[in-house]
Structures are given as C-alpha cells and as structure tokens.
Structure 1
Amino acid sequence: MLIRKFSPIFVLLIALLNPISPGFAQKFSTLEVSKFSFPSGLTANASRERIAWAMNEQGRRNVYFAEAPDYQAERLTDFMEDDGQEISSLQFSEDGEYLVFVRGGDHGGGNASSPVNANNMPLMTHVAIWTIDLATRKTASLTEGDDPVWGAGHQLAFIKNGAVWFKDLDAKKAPHAIIQNRGRLGDLRYSPDGRQLAFVANRGTHSLIGVYHDAQTPVKWLAPSFQQDQSPRWSPDGKSIAFVRTLGGSGAALPLLEKRHAPWEIWIADVASGEATMEWKAPETLRGSIPSTQGGFNLHWPLPEQLIYLSYEDGWPHLYSRNLQTNTSTLLTPGEFMVEQLSVHPDGQSLVFAANGGELPDDLDRRHLATVDLTTGEFAWKTSGEGIEAYPVFTGREDDIAFFSATPTRPLLPAILREETVKLLGEELIPEDFPAADLVIPKHVQFMAADGTTVYGQLFEPAANGSSKPAVVFVHGGPQRQMLLGWSYMDYYSNTYAINQKLAEMGFVVLSVNYRLGIGYGYEFHRPSGTYYQGAAEYLDIKAAGEYLAGLEQVDPERIGIYGGSYGGYLTAMALARDSDLFKVGVDISGVHDMDHRYDLPEGVEVAPDYEEAKQIAWESSPMPDLEQWTSPVLFIHSDDDRNVGFYHSADLARRFDELGKPYEYLVIPGDTHHWMKFSNMVKVNEATVNFLHKHLQP
C-alpha cells in the first residue's frame, strides 16, 4: 500500500499503482515492456558440444539446453510459477551427461545462500542443489546446499551449513560432509583429474588455501601466512596451484581520506610439499591496486607455462599473460577498452571475452566479443555493430562461441557465433505482446560537470517531435556499473532500460547518466578522489545531467525529474535535497542514505589522524544535512529483505521526514530482495515509478 504523508499524524491513502489516465494514448503498457526475456548462467560442455542457460520468463525461471550442430533450444525444467526462486551455478559434468544448478537464494546480494520468501509463505523455502540427467531429462532435488562443483565422474562437492559436502550421483550413499574446518569455507576447485579439492578457509584476519585428498589424509595447507590467500587455480598437470595473496590483519590507523595502493601478488604452490613462491607482484601504483571490475583478478592457468590475469596498471582493465619460464608479463588486450566476462577455450590455447571497444565511436557504451590466441598473442574482434554481446563461452564445436545477444530494441537471447554468422536461440521466448517495434534507439551523449569531468550517457527521445517536453534523469546503482546503448546484460538494468523506454513512450526525454565511479571509461573515471562518503563529487555529474537536459531545446526546464536505485537512489536523494529547484520530483528506490556510520568508532587508543574530519565529510556527503531545503515530491521504494542496501536506510530517512513534517509517498515490498526476485513485484515497482513521474511532470 502506498501512503502519502503530509505530517506525522495525518495520513492520506493514494493510488499510484492505478493505470495512467485513460486520456493518455499509449502504444504499450509498463507490463508489456517489462516482459523482456532474460537469460543467465550460460555454460558449455566441450566433450558433447552442449550448452545450457537459465531463462527468466516473467518470473518463471527454468533451465534450457541446446547442442551442436543445430542448437535448438529445449526447456528441461518445469518451474512455472512466479515464485522468486532464482537459478544459479549451472554447469555440466565433465562428460556432459548431467547438469547441476542451485535453486533459491539471491546470489547478487549479501547472504546469498539464505532463502528468499518473496511469496511470503508461512514456511521458508530452501536453497537447494538440483541435478538433471540429460539421458532421461529427469530433474531431481539433491539436497540443501550451494556453490556446487564437479569432480571425477559424477561426483559433486558443495557448501552446506558452513561445511564442504560430497555426493557421488553414481553411488547410493547419501550426501555427507567431507570438510568441517574453521572459518568460512568456499571457492571450491577440483584438480584436473577430479581427485583433489582445493578450497579457501577465510578466518577473518587471514585466509588459507587447503587441499583435500580423502577422509584419512590431513588437509594440506599451502604456504600458510598472516595474509589473505584466495582464487586458487590448478596447473594443467594438477601438481601446482596458483593463487592471489593480499594483505591480512587490520594494520595501522592510517589517514582515512588518503588514497593508497592496495597491493596484491600471484603465488605458485607445489601441492605435494605445500611450499610456495611469489611469481608476480602488482605495480605499487594506484592503478596497480586490486582490480574491482567483473571477475576481479581473473586468474587462469590455461597452458603449462602460462598464467592469465587482469590488471588495471595501464589505466584500463586489461588481460596479461605471465610466462612462467621467463618470468615476464605481456599485455594481451591493448587499447582504450575494458575487458570482462572472460572464458578459456577447452584446449587452453585461446580466450574469448566481452569488451567495450570496436569500430564505431560510441562502442564505448556497448559490449562486443573478442578473442586472443595464447600461442601467438593474436587479438581479434569477433562481433561488431550496434548490438550488445556478453558472457561468451566456447561450445567445444570447432570455434563456435555461445553468448548472450541484445540490440537497442530486442532484449537478451542466447546466440551462437559460427565463423561470421550469428544464430539466435529461443526467439519464440519473447512474448508476442512485447513492444520491440515501438522502442526508441538511445544515442550516446557527453557533457561536462562543473569541475571539468567528462560525463557520459544515453539519451532516450520520444518518437513525437516538439518542444516543452518533461525530462527524467536515470541514475544507475553499483556504482561500478555502465549503462549501455541497448538492453543490459544485468537483469536489474534490463529492467531500468524497460522503464526508460516506457518513459520515452509516454513523452519524456530520458537521460541515463554514466557518472564517475562507473566502469568502462578508464581507471581515473572509475576510481576518482573525493567521491561517495569522502565528498560525493560524483553528484556534480548528476547535477550536470539535469542541467544538460534543461539546456535541450525540446525540454521544459521546469519539468525535470529523477529516479534511481541503490547507489542511484542515494544520488537521487542528493539531487532532491540539494537541488529541488532543478529536480522537481524524484523516485528513490532502495537508496543508500546513511553516511554517518561509514566509519566505526575506534575501540582503542589508536585513531586515524583525520578521523573527525572524515566523519564530518561523510555526514556532509549524505542527503541528511540538506533535508530542510528538500521541497520536491518524492516516492520512496524499498523491499524489506534487501541484502545489498539495508532497509534501515529508507526507514531512517522516512522517520526524519516524519519528524520534519515533510510529505512523501512510499511503497514497501515485504519479503523481496534488492533485485525484485518476483516478477509481479518488479512490475509493481515499475508502474509506481512511471505513474509517480507522470503525475507530477504531466507529459
């Protein structure tokens, strides 16, 4: 129920969820554009030339399958309710005869293995491991658990109740625990022969990499230290493990407002002895710090004498090859673009990945596929044009590549790239009433913030010409995200792309802004100083976006609104608190608001020399100090099982509005998470958002 508050004691029910007024002639509804197809979890098996993926069809999430040479999409599971249960960890057994997946949880948020009860049933659901026998097409729930990995034959290891469990699908013995050890266990990795299992035991101050052999053999700890060891990767012969080492402990109370290098190293351990040596150390520069883009370190060991890793050291997230014979590193992906979603060919001799580069000037706001031959170093773009290509994998059939494909008007679908021909899979899964033909094509724009920073965005303009149109700034979350010139490869942002399309159809000019702290434009844009709770400099980009819209001939500068989710909700609140004269209305979805508690009160004598200054800046970097001058109407939306942004952020801000006697409207979604696991909840949020902006800006 949505409620508008005019004072702490006077409450008026409102009806924002009602359809837009009958007088508005709409080409498509919010519901129709929200029915975008969304595949995820693409995986392949080289030995049988098979691929599989999960597909979200209006909340009905199922596993799909296809195999060479025709790759005809086939649904394998029968989960036909909008029940909020996601599918993750989809993968084939080594022989391609089984699939395993996890059903339940929210693996895009914290506490991922905790059940999601978006249906608000009296009893909670479970996060469970499921298997599919591809010979019989039989689907079965194996046991509660998460993070499964395949070993030899049809053996599975997985995490359950903090321990590592085991199940052989070919044996009658029930699933049982095989590793119960101190710390948070995870990052399971079987050796190439499937007989040994590497894992990470995170013990807070430090983390260890262990190797399990059998129930009678003690765990072998690899070069235990005071540091944080992570990302174990087996050598092709199974005799060594490469891993990443970062600092452990808590360290001295250094200045909080200074930027410092975050060191990391790559080590190689001999599994038999447990001894390890450092192979590579990151450059001691800010750019050389721990990478924070998709895949993190992206450490791989594809060939006997070659490691692959990702580093930001040249200003872009690029791949490097480490020659273990010469102890030298070589840049594999030169150019001003970022690399993400890396996959290794089954033969270990090449890589495929997505990157925001290509032939067109605005490819900076797209994703295309590229490959690198690891034996020659040859780099090649595999796709081009105005589409979005993401999450590539080699299928095992010659050089066929499976990936997810989208355009500005068509949402994501699985696809196969064979030589230079692309075949879409499952086109029939896009509903007949999905309004692809009525969608606008956004265009890339750039403008300048007040401090001289170049800001990027995509402009959605209504099909009808004319002036004095209302406008809306959309602010993404993350903040390490990038909005694209087409349907996003992230489900949350495919949804906001749908909202932007609906707003454009209603007559709004929409600017989706890629502000500093986002990815895709180099290190200095991604990691600038004085941002978030250390100065909120990125808000300058949001204000510049509003001013850019106000300067467009077709926009009425007195009718500009704003909406955003998560970190975008925070910046929406900042806009309304600081510049209600520019932003006349806003929708703050799951916003981060509380910056006052970003620094814990020191427990001991040692305190950072700038602690008090940092606390003051954190307070001033939030919307809280400026609530008195917040005059624009606002709609607060939050789900109360949010594992990314605590519900308290919105509850506390609403309390402050109550205390100040300020009006607001709100929508609370009980039981759902940050990502609207239930389709009907997502549609409810979408409709509330567009209706609120329509009501106050009147296109």
Structure 2
Amino acid sequence: MKKSLLILFMLLSTSKIFAQSFSLKSVLSYPFPSQLVAAPTGTKIAWAANEQGKRNIYTAAAPDYKAVKITSYNEDDGQELTSLSISPDGTWIVFVRGGDHGGRDGGPVNAASSAIAPKIQVLAISFTGGKIITIGEGDNPLISPNSKQVLFSKAGQVLIAPIDGLMPAKNLFYAKGINGGYKWSPDGEKVAFVSNRTDHAFVGIYTNDETPVQWLSPSFAKDNMPVWSPDGKEIAFIRTPGSGSETDSILSRKHQAWAICTVNVSTGQGKQIWKAPETIRASYPSIDGGANLQWARDKIVFTSYEDGWPHLYSINPDGSGRLLLTPGNYGVENIKLGSDKKTLVFAANTGKDGDDLERRHVYKVSVNQANMQPLSSGKGIEAYPVISGDNLTFFCLSATAERPLLPAVIAGGKVIKLIGESLIPTDFPIKEMVVPKHVRFKAADGNTVYGQLFSPKKMIKNQPAIVYVHGGPQRQMFLGWNPMDYYSIDYALNQYLVNLGFTVLAVNYRLGTGYGFDFHKPMGAGAQGASEYQDIKAAGEWLAAQPGINKDQIGIYGGSYGGYLTALALGKDSKLFAAGVDIHGVNNRFSSQATEGKEPAPDATLAAKIALSSSPVSYINTWTSPTLIIHADDDRNVAFNQSVDLARRFEDKHFEFEFLVIPDDTHHWMKFSNGLKVSEATAKFLKRKLMDKK
C-alpha cells in the first residue's frame, strides 16, 4: 500500500513538472515577417506578415515607423505573398500572390482544397493602401525606373503591363527557351534578360519591337545574372560551362568553373574579366544567391567561396584590382547594394562573442575598400538587412532567443526600434521561452559537430531528450528564432517540447552552412556515403552521456533532409533512438544514373551500391523504433512517393507505424492550420512514446 502511494506521489510530482504552461498554438501565433524591402528613394519600407495563415502587407515610414496593414486577406488559404517591391517614386507596392516559391515547381498551390482553381497573380496597391490592382497572371515582377510599368514572367516569356492596371499585359518580345532574369537599363529604355535553352543560355537585350534582340557574346556556355553598369553602357554577367555529353565520375569531386564577363552594349564587344581559380573551393558558389553579381559605381561586386568562406569581392570593370572586402572565418549572406551604389549591407555569423558563429548580425562595407563595420551586435539574430532610399537608415529582421522576428531599425551597433511589436499576440509565451546553449562535440571520425541545447527550466533525474535535425541540408540553426519561416516553426516546436519536459538538441551537422567550405562540402556525404549521419549519431550519444538524461528515452525528429537523417537514425540505430518522426524525408537515395543519349558513368555501378547503402530503406530489417511518417501530397521538394514507398515496405514487414497525410499542401505548410497539425502530431507522438511510458 505504501509503495503504491509512493508511486502515485511520484507520478503526480512528475506530472506537475511536465505540465505545459502554454499551448503549441500560442507559441506558433507570432506574426512571421518576410520580404522586407525599402523604397529606392526616401525612408519607406514594406514587408509581408504571416499571422496564423493570414498573409498581409505592412508598411512603415519615417519618422515613427508605425506598422500599417494595407491589405485585408483574412483567410488561412495557403496563398503566399512574395516578390514585394516598392516603386522608385515610392507610391506603389507590387507583389505576387500564390505559388510555392520555395519549391521546384512554382505553380499554383491549392492547400485549402478549394473547388476553384487558384492562380499566381502579379498585383499592385498604393503604398498607403486602397484597391488591389491585378496586373496579370504571372510571377517575378520588376518595376520600371519611371514607376509606370511592370515586367513579369509567364510560361517562359516576358510580359509587360502598366502598373495601374488600366491596360492588359502583353508579351514584351518573343524568344525561344525559358526567359527570365530580366533587368531594366538605368534609363528604362532597354531590358536585359536570360534565355535558358536547356544545355546553354544566352544573355540578350530587348530595345523595341522594330529592333531584333541583341545577343551578347553568344557561346556554348550558360550565361546568367546580367547586371547593367550605372551608365547603361555595359553589362556584366556570369558564364558557366554548357551541359555537355561527356561522362564524368559520379563519386569524384569536380571543380565547377565560372567566370565574369562584360559586354559593351553599343559595339557588342565582350571579354572575360575574371575566371575563378580551378580549385574545388572556388567552384561556383552553391549558396543562396549564388555569385550575387552586382555592378556598383565603379566596381563589380560578387561572392566567392575560394578561401573556404563565402565572401564579398570587388573588381574593376577591366578585371584589375580584385579586392577581398570581407576577410575572416565567417560567411556573408542576404547581400544588398545601397541605391547610391557605394555601400553593401549583409548578414554574417561573426562578432565579438564566440557564440556569434551561431547567430547573424548586420554589417556594411564599402564597394571599394575592406572597411567592414558592424551595424548590430549582441545576443540577438539580425538578418535580411536593407538600406533606406536616402542611404542613411538601415533595417533588418530582428529576433532574440525569446522574441520572434520583427522588422527593426538599426543604428549605433544595435536595434534601436522594433516595428510592429504590437502585432505579437498577448498570449504569446515570451516569458516561458528558454535560451539555448551553444555546444560542440565530436563525431566518430573526429569531425566537430555543432548544436544548440534547449534545457527545461526545471530539470529532473532521468530526463527524456530529443535530437532535432534541420533540413536543407545547407542551413544553419541559430541561438534564437530562425529568420526562415520553415525553421521558425521548428524553433517554436523545440521550445514547446522543452516546456513539456524534454531536453532538445538541435544539431548543425556537416553539409550545413556557417562553418566553412570543408564542413559544407564534405566527402562521402548524402547518396555518396551519408558521412553526415555520423554527426546525428554522435548527437544521440552525446545526449545519452549527459548527467540526468535517460539514455533509453532519446527520440529524434526532422523534416526534409532532416527527415532523411531521422529515418537513417531509426533504421540503423533503433537502440539509441527510441522513437522518431520522419517528416517528408528522402527514404531512398537510389536512382538510375542512366541518361538518354549518354554512356553510363564509369563508376555508376559502385555509385548505385553506395546510394542504396545510404538509404534508410536499406535498414528496414533493423528498424524497430516506433515511427510516425508525415507528408503532404503536393510536396514540390521531396516526392510524396518517398513516404508511400517507406509505408509499403513497413506494411510488407508487418511493422506497425503511424502516419499523417496532408492532402493538397506542399513542403512548406502553406496553411497555418496544417503546420500546427504537423507540430501537434509530432509533439504528441514523442510525448506518448518517450514520456508517458515512464
């Protein structure tokens, strides 16, 4: 009897410790901001805010920068807002509504399962609000320098329409291939564009209907990213090799060549002004934004990975005077050139604090000298900076470990004003958020693994724990709210899991960004050996060795690439990982290497064997841990069939598993209600399998 009472007392005590103090919906109720833009002149900004699925545009202007909502979309319908821009005269905002711009197929999204087919539309609205004008069906709008016209794309062609919508859109010109990457000339009289023709691509200039398209230095290469010189007399662009029929080794690493070329628009004379060194590190940068080619006043600016970190360089238009603008062991991203074309602003993972390696702060640098200066510092996250049109004020998206992202004004090395703080709901549990701790440990092969450790405010003996694995894989999780919407949801879920009583370790494994080229591009990773899985296993083992952690109650979850590594963990190491949630993961890395018209690669057979051994489906027979599979069936990033195949294999094995299928949504949970449903299912499953069995 006494023993029974003691057990009852212990259970009641444990339930009080594990009692959640906030709901998952409340911690996901933040108004996530994106698409922060500044007007080319003056001090106006705009951004899109996702408030529990209701996506709207907000504006703010000097001197008070009060957030003003100018659209009234009141449904959680899964229609995203992208491509925001403010016209040069500051009177219009142009944007796109619809589509999935984080997926490989940017077509319309019907996440709400509407009986009426959704569209992707280019829209305009006055900066002060009012009637929304439909410019046309299409994507990727670009406002003309005189603020009167808009270019946009549809079905591989470039269209033009008046910004006020008084005339229907029409084709600007015709060219074969998929045409995009268009840029107005500084005077607004011409348009440079890219014509992608599968195995090669040209840069062309459209002048008027009477003048044939001018092709700039056409070759057998793929030309891309054209930028005009400030005087409109020249164009610079990136040149990479065309797609040939040569048969390369699959498993060996190869330099991906690229160069910068310029062309005189009047004469058509072109030349290569710079070629990347022929090293693996100096390959075309496979990071967001690629080479980030821009033409400043008297310099051409670009990003290169050649010294082992993604850095900004400038060069004279004749190819001389190349200068590293941002030296150091850190990476730059979110790069913007000021309207005066003298100053670059960007985010970087560096600062006075050693843990800034896992943060983002804002910096500026001149285009002609390496005089990098911090615009923000401290223990927060500052990303996606922009410069006001008067080139005097800087803005960014700002967060901390406790507070979600908000637009902000930065000056004097710190955030001086948050914009739209009142949009955070009163029930958002900011005081309940924990501050994650930066940790490091070693994988079996000696690789350093990085992570953030979320610990409950009230620790107990035999704490259950969870390894969180991000997707990408070229992403980095931070010591605060992530400025990407997908990972902000996961950050909120991690906070909720900690509030339930779990210890959570978010792992920054090799293949991710933030730690240099060799970490980002390791040998034998992915389908070539899954070397990065060592980091995930090391995370589980590190947790298991921590004081107070119950080594028999360690779970794992992750989405996309994180789902792939979660599945590998459950298949290969069920004794270490007691339960897991595989969210739209890649479960089979094997694919035929045969391509029509090409001989198979010399190592195709070996590569296929390694790809199969790198696939979670190869470990079905040792997969014993309880598993929840989650997938949306309009996923444009990971084929829904990946989960169908895994489910069939489980069924053939008579292995019981749980699942959640989301009809019509995509990889990015376009509907807030679906993102909430996925997070709730993940938390309930892990709690039931790891905590309720105590």
What TM-score results when the alignment is normalised by the length of structure 1? 0.95
Distance change >3 Å, CA 560–CA 135, structure 1 → 2: closer
Shift of 1:25: 2.2
Shift of 1:134: 2.7
Shift of 1:474: 0.3
Is 2:489 the counterpart of 1:499?
no
1:125 corresponds to which residue?
118
Residues 594, 600 of structure 2: 8 Å contact kept: no
Shift of 1:467: 1.9
Residues 164, 178 of structure 1: 8 Å contact kept: yes
Structure 1, gaps ≥5 residues long: 1-20
2:224 corresponds to which residue?
230
Is 2:584 the counterpart of 1:555?
no
Is 2:116 the counterpart of 1:97?
no
1:482 corresponds to which residue?
476
- 1:370-404 CA-partner distances (Å, limit 9, x unpaired): 11022443111111110000000001245210110
Is 2:382 the counterpart of 1:389?
yes
Distance 2:397 2:352 in 1: 20
Is 2:501 the counterpart of 1:513?
no
Residues 124, 163 of structure 2: 8 Å contact kept: no
1:164 corresponds to which residue?
158
1:441 corresponds to which residue?
435
- 1:7-64 CA-partner distances (Å, limit 9, x unpaired): xxxxxxxxxxxxxx99962100111111122100011114232100000100010000
2:247 corresponds to which residue?
253
Shift of 1:141: 2.2
- 1:172-206 CA-partner distances (Å, limit 9, x unpaired): 43211122221111111111111111111111010
Shift of 1:161: 2.8
Distance 1:190 1:396 in 2: 18
2:283 corresponds to which residue?
289
2:300 corresponds to which residue?
307
Task: Tell me how large the CA RMSD over aligned residues is.
Answer: 1.5
Shift of 1:140: 2.0
1:62 corresponds to which residue?
56
Distance 1:287 1:440 in 2: 38
Distance 2:118 2:48 in 1: 20
Shift of 1:170: 5.5
Is 2:27 the counterpart of 1:33?
yes
1:698 corresponds to which residue?
691
Residues 401, 417 of structure 1: 8 Å contact kept: yes
Distance 2:202 2:52 in 1: 42
Q: In the TM superposition, what are the counterparts of 1:572-583 in structure 2 within 5 Å? A: 572-583=566-577
Match of 2:628 among 630, 635, 650: 635
2:8 corresponds to which residue?
none
Is 2:623 the counterpart of 1:620?
no
- 1:446-467 CA-partner distances (Å, limit 9, x unpaired): 0000000000000000110222
- 1:581-630 CA-partner distances (Å, limit 9, x unpaired): 00010000000112111x43244573321110011001111011110110
Residues 234, 264 of structure 2: 8 Å contact kept: yes
Distance 1:488 1:316 in 2: 21
Distance change >3 Å, CA 227–CA 460, structure 1 → 2: same
Aligned residue-pair number: 676
Distance 1:101 1:604 in 2: 42
Is 2:680 the counterpart of 1:687?
yes
2:518 corresponds to which residue?
524
- 1:623-662 CA-partner distances (Å, limit 9, x unpaired): 1111011000000000000011111111111111111111
Q: In the TM superposition, what are the counterparts of 1:238-637 in structure 2 within 5 Å? A: 238-303=232-297, 305-325=298-318, 327-420=320-413, 422-597=416-591, 599-604=592-597, 606-637=599-630
Distance 2:320 2:135 in 1: 45
Residues 399, 419 of structure 1: 8 Å contact kept: no
Amino acid at match of 1:161: A
Residues 516, 538 of structure 1: 8 Å contact kept: yes
Distance 1:165 1:622 in 2: 44
Distance 1:327 1:133 in 2: 45
Distance change >3 Å, CA 389–CA 630, structure 1 → 2: same
2:207 corresponds to which residue?
213
Residues 43, 393 of structure 2: 8 Å contact kept: no
Of residues 599-608 and 526-535 in structure 1, the stretch that sits farther from structure 2 once superposed is: 599-608
Residues 338, 520 of structure 1: 8 Å contact kept: yes
- 1:343-376 CA-partner distances (Å, limit 9, x unpaired): 1111111111000000001100000011102244
Shift of 1:216: 1.6
2:656 corresponds to which residue?
663
Residues 416, 424 of structure 1: 8 Å contact kept: yes
2:11 corresponds to which residue?
none
Residues 136, 168 of structure 2: 8 Å contact kept: no
Of residues 259-268 and 371-380 in structure 1, the stretch that sits farther from structure 2 once superposed is: 371-380
Of residues 512-521 and 246-255 in structure 1, the stretch that sits farther from structure 2 once superposed is: 246-255
Distance 2:452 2:165 in 1: 55
- 1:103-126 CA-partner distances (Å, limit 9, x unpaired): 0001011111x1110110112110
Residues 565, 591 of structure 1: 8 Å contact kept: yes
Larger relative CO (CA 8 A, sep 6+): 1 or 2?
1
SS of structure 2 residue aligned to 1:66 = strand
Residues 71, 129 of structure 2: 8 Å contact kept: no
Shift of 1:137: 3.3
Shift of 1:326: 6.2
1:10 corresponds to which residue?
none
Distance 1:301 1:513 in 2: 38
Distance change >3 Å, CA 326–CA 185, structure 1 → 2: closer
Structure 2, gaps ≥5 residues long: 1-14
Distance 1:194 1:530 in 2: 49
What TM-score results when the alignment is normalised by the length of structure 2? 0.95
Distance 2:166 2:390 in 1: 34
Amino acid at match of 1:337: Y
Distance 1:486 1:346 in 2: 31
SS of structure 2 residue aligned to 1:626 = helix
